[in-house]
Structure 1
Amino acid sequence: MEDYNSIKSYPNKQMEQNESTDRISSLHDELLGRILSFMPTKYAVATSILSPRWKNVYKLISTLDFDDSLITSNAPQHHDHFKRFVNGILQQCKKTYIDKFKLNCENDNYENSEIGIWVRAAVMLKVSKFEVTIQKDVHCMLPLPKWFTQHLVVLKLDCSFKVRVPKFVKFPNLKVLHLKEVTIEENGTNGLNMVLLGCTSLEELVIVDTQTQNLPIGLRYEIQFSELMCKNIIVLTLDCSYTLCIPSVVVFPKLKILFLKGITLKSMPRSLVPLVYYRKQVNDYHTLNGILSVSPLLEELVINGCNWGGGNLYLRNPMMEKLTIEDGLDGPIDQFSNCTVLLNLSKLVYFNYHVGLAKQYVIQNLNSVEQAQLEVCFNDLDYDDEQDLCDTMLELIEGIRFCRSLRLSAQCTEALTSGAFELPIFRNLIELNITLGVHVNWKDVVLDFLNCSPCLESLTLVQDGMDTELDGNFLLEAELVDCVYSKLKFINIRNFQGLEGETKMLMYFLKNATNLEEMVIHWKSANKPVVFLNIQQNVLSVPYSFCRSIRKVRT
């Protein structure tokens, strides 16, 4: 029997022969056409120069993908070549069916007529996926003929097109609809709602900055959802100044992602409150609560700058993993005044709460939260006394005591320190970011959080407009904190002023944090560089410092 080495030493003639064979070129034309359809049309056409075998293969592609971002030069002749290329391919296209037409124009050297010719040529085909992104403000009309809408599966428009909607338009196969910066031409047809009414298989709807023509100034467009359209929706994004109307019979059995920005949710009479909603809380019903109550699979919720008329808010979606609630630029800041927020989200991982402080929080389950960001605003007059304000803030903080990363704004620390408080133990907390308000001092909260965070590794302290002297002895006089001695690896100080008390605090961390790897100090640009140099010399003179890196950042 031959040994292994002798077998390897023999040349494998069959293998050499296989390696020299062009196996790709031997594939059937139809298969080669499908392969080329996965790449931009520019590259598909370029394969025609490989050999005579490839000369006409590109004509079998089922995708037309034109992207001027692939142009390597901004020279005018290169863009002229792109225009001729698109015109030539569209003229050569003899197919009656195209799987996808995609046009991406980032350059502004296009005339309205040129874009219009390309789009109308694509509309004449039976297209399954139609995607157009144009950076320039191009005034083109996109018609929606019957032969075009019946075959559409994906329609994505990110451009300033005007869309002319005929009466009784139907999209029987449409699953993805994106409208960004589009103008819907009404013509008495209630165009946008007519489009939505014709979508019976829609799974993903995204509407961003889309306008309706001929709408009176100051009047918000009322967008309406039908029961048939909502039954298959998985992703719903509305980022526009619309009023959303949800009939009582509508449910979202498949909805997983809901993003609402700038939306006004239309209220509903009590007599029309759906039976699926909790009858015991009929007085608390509003459209937002209604949507949440009929979305059992909801995984991600973003409410930004929306107006639902205030009232108690109930969040108890068992599948929700991400939650963001923000006032935004347009949302009323008093919607949470005198209301209760109930949170029972057993799978929630990310929690971003940036709104007015509620009157009361009922937190039944937020035990899975890993990252929490709290930024509240409040009116002292909404609370019985300062202790009541403190207790409300503490309710919210206690609810997220199992998180790994926590960020608190200046208003949070102001509310917390308005009365007597006792923090819970943050057993899982690794990263802490605290901003101190004008009336809050380091010693008011820092030591409490350090003592309650036994696993803390990263600490960020931000001063927000505090110009008073800090008594740095509050740490030196306290007992050594366990997490500082054994866990703390990173310290970030923002808005550092160079005051004596601040320097004492830095010295405390440098002397006692045995695992400290890096300290970053953001000092105010108004301070003279010589001030920081003196502080740096004092810091570096600490004889038992374990810190490996100290960096300054001027702000």
Structure 2
Amino acid sequence: MNSMIATHNSDTAKMFPTEQTVVEKEDIISNLHESILGHILSFLSTLEAVHTIVLSKKWIDLWITITGLQFSDSFHCFGKKMQKEQFVCFVNKVLLHLANSSIQSFSLSLTCYQYDSTLVSSWISSIFERGVQKLHIQYADNVHFPSNSLFSCKSLRQLMLQMKCTLNVPISASLSNLQNLNISGIRLVSESTTYSKDLILNFPVLKVLEARGCEWLTKQSISIKAPLLETFCITIWNSLSNESHKSSIKVFAPCLKDFSYEGDLEQDVIVLNASSIRSASIVIVIDENTVEKLGLQVQKLLAQIREVEELKLLFYKVLMHANNIFTHLPAFGRLTHVQLNEVTCEALMNILHNSPILNTLILQNGLSELNKDVLTCASVPQCFVSSLKVFQFKGFNLHEHELLLAKLVMKNAAVLEQMTICAAFWLRYSDIDMEKVKEQILSFPKCSNFVMIKLVF
């Protein structure tokens, strides 16, 4: 190898560095400024950052310059998972060494052991005092969360809490620099004991708010004021809570574009200035014993998003027990794309008649039968005449009313371009002659001369 290196001319050696030339190069990485090295080390787990002390004498104290801490009790040390006592000792020592340092980001994932609630709370409290901008806590057990420290932290930009804890929210709370909020499993309670005022949460620069499986246990209505909010996602299951709180959640978000709701409609979610919403996802699961009295809540929720362009509307355990939910639909004047499941004939036709410029229709899990005569006697929706181009029918069960729907679409959709029918899984194991079914569907009269029909049986 060395003899070969010796034969290279100087120009070639410059273009293709050999082993010899690499050895002679200076250590560029180590010569970087400490602040840059600290920033680079912040992308590693804190355990890995500390281990860089073995590289050279110069690296012994470099890890102290890191601006981001990542702790996880699932990390392995020298090939073995750290014991609980080792992990606690490690976190305490790191926080002690960095007692006077500014921490921009802090991530704590506790998935392997149970910890003393006071200990975890002290770790979190110490980080709020360091000017933290990004905070991520993941822990499955209850923690006494330092609520006062949170709502007095002006530096916070991103907050993700996936944990069981109670947040004591002041009657008027504000996080002035928060841009992204993601919480799950949190119990939010009010510090106030009176009903006189709404609980107000001010987020002047917040753009994303995701709240999943949280309990909003306040005596007052909750007002979320977020003038720059673009994405709002809430999953709320009050029927699973031992406490009954019917206070409404009001969202003031004039720039909101994406709205997502999943729940049982036991608690009102009211989006004011909702005309800016362009994409919405609604997932509702209601017990059959309570569905009839909640029809009004469904209508109120749909009325808020009537200006959407794309809509995912998924109902479970609902439509078979309440066929009147869609009798008073708003007009979806801008709706071009809709995805539905467990929909009845009546509900489907009502939606189609209220969506005059619909371009794409996707049905999941077949079509529930209540009154197939609705399809045979139905007037043709406006979208069939002028706009419907894509129709996807998933979970096709070969029921008579489903064949009637396929026939209705093919006969009347004048500008239809793509029609896909996917058979239900169980049909693979049936004795039905699927070739005859295909022939039957393909024999239906077609209004559009350009439609491509795909049958996935």
* TM norm structure 2: 0.76
Which sits farther off after the overlay, 202-211 or 240-249?
Answer: 240-249
Which residue number corresponds to residue 226 of structure 1? 148
Secondary structure class of the residue paired with 2:409:
helix
1:297-333: CA deviation from partner (whole Å, max 9, x where unpaired): 3222222112232654434422221111113699529
Which residue number corresponds to residue 240 of structure 1? 163
Secondary structure class of the residue paired with 2:255:
coil
User: 2:43 matched to 1:143?
Assistant: no
**Percent same amino acid among aligned pairs?**
19
2:121 partner amino acid: N
Secondary structure class of the residue paired with 1:526:
helix
Which residue number corresponds to residue 402 of structure 1? 307
Which residue number corresponds to residue 533 of structure 1? 435
Task: Tell me how far 1:349 sits from its aligned partner.
Answer: 1.2
Question: Alignment length, in residue pairs?
Answer: 420
Counterpart Cα distance in 2 of 1:193 and 1:66: 24
Which residue number corresponds to residue 56 of structure 2? 93
Counterpart Cα distance in 1 of 2:370 and 2:158: 52
* RMSD (CA atoms): 4.1
Counterpart Cα distance in 2 of 1:521 and 1:49: 66
User: 2:391 matched to 1:491?
Assistant: yes
Asked whether the equivalents of residues 393 and 415 of structure 1 are also in contact (C-alpha less than 8 Å), the reply is no
Counterpart Cα distance in 2 of 1:326 and 1:349: 18
User: 2:268 matched to 1:297?
Assistant: no
Which residue number corresponds to residue 422 of structure 1? 328
1:429 partner amino acid: L
Secondary structure class of the residue paired with 1:206:
strand
Task: Tell me how far 1:490 sits from its aligned partner.
Answer: 1.8
Which residue number corresponds to residue 241 of structure 2? 332
More RCO (CA 8 Å, sep 6+): 2
1:140-188: CA deviation from partner (whole Å, max 9, x where unpaired): 4353577x54785xxxxxxxxxxxxxxxxx35401211101266865xx
User: 2:124 matched to 1:196?
Assistant: yes
Higher share of residues assigned strand: 2
* TM norm structure 1: 0.64
Task: Tell me how far 1:548 sits from its aligned partner.
Answer: 1.4
Identify if the C-alpha distance between structure 1 residues 350 and 335 changes in structure 2 by more than 3 Å, giving closer, same or farther: farther
Equivalent residue for 2:223, pick from 314, 323, 345:
314
Which residue number corresponds to residue 341 of structure 2? 435
Counterpart Cα distance in 2 of 1:206 and 1:249: 24
**What 5-or-longer segments of structure 2 have no aligned partner?**
1-10
Identify if the C-alpha distance between structure 1 residues 332 and 24 changes in structure 2 by more than 3 Å, giving closer, same or farther: farther
Counterpart Cα distance in 2 of 1:352 and 1:364: 15
Which residue number corresponds to residue 474 of structure 1? 374
Identify if the C-alpha distance between structure 1 residues 420 and 181 changes in structure 2 by more than 3 Å, giving closer, same or farther: closer
1:202-221: CA deviation from partner (whole Å, max 9, x where unpaired): 1111101266xxxxxxxx32
Identify if the C-alpha distance between structure 1 residues 328 and 420 changes in structure 2 by more than 3 Å, giving closer, same or farther: closer
Counterpart Cα distance in 2 of 1:66 and 1:270: 44
Equivalent residue for 2:404, pick from 485, 489, 504:
504
Which sits farther off after the overlay, 223-232 or 170-179?
Answer: 223-232
1:448 partner amino acid: N
Identify if the C-alpha distance between structure 1 residues 393 and 59 changes in structure 2 by more than 3 Å, giving closer, same or farther: closer
Counterpart Cα distance in 2 of 1:336 and 1:413: 26
Identify if the C-alpha distance between structure 1 residues 332 and 502 changes in structure 2 by more than 3 Å, giving closer, same or farther: same
1:425 partner amino acid: A
Asked whether the equivalents of residues 327 and 333 of structure 1 are also in contact (C-alpha less than 8 Å), the reply is no
Q: How does 1:57-96 map to 2 (within 5 A)?
A: 57=28, 59-60=30-31, 62=37, 63=40, 90-95=53-58
2:174 partner amino acid: V
Task: Tell me how far 1:223 sits from its aligned partner.
Answer: 0.8
User: 2:103 matched to 1:174?
Assistant: yes
Larger Rg: 1
Q: How does 1:3-402 map to 2 (within 5 A)?
A: 51-54=22-25, 56-57=27-28, 59-60=30-31, 62=37, 63=40, 90-95=53-58, 126-131=65-70, 137-139=81-83, 140-141=86-87, 142-144=89-91, 148-149=94-95, 170=99, 172-181=101-110, 186=116, 190-199=118-127, 200=129, 201-209=131-139, 220-227=142-149, 230-246=153-169, 251-270=174-193, 282-283=195-196, 285=198, 289-290=199-200, 293-309=201-217, 312-327=221-236, 332=241, 337=246, 339-358=247-266, 363-378=271-286, 386=292, 389-402=294-307
Counterpart Cα distance in 2 of 1:427 and 1:249: 38
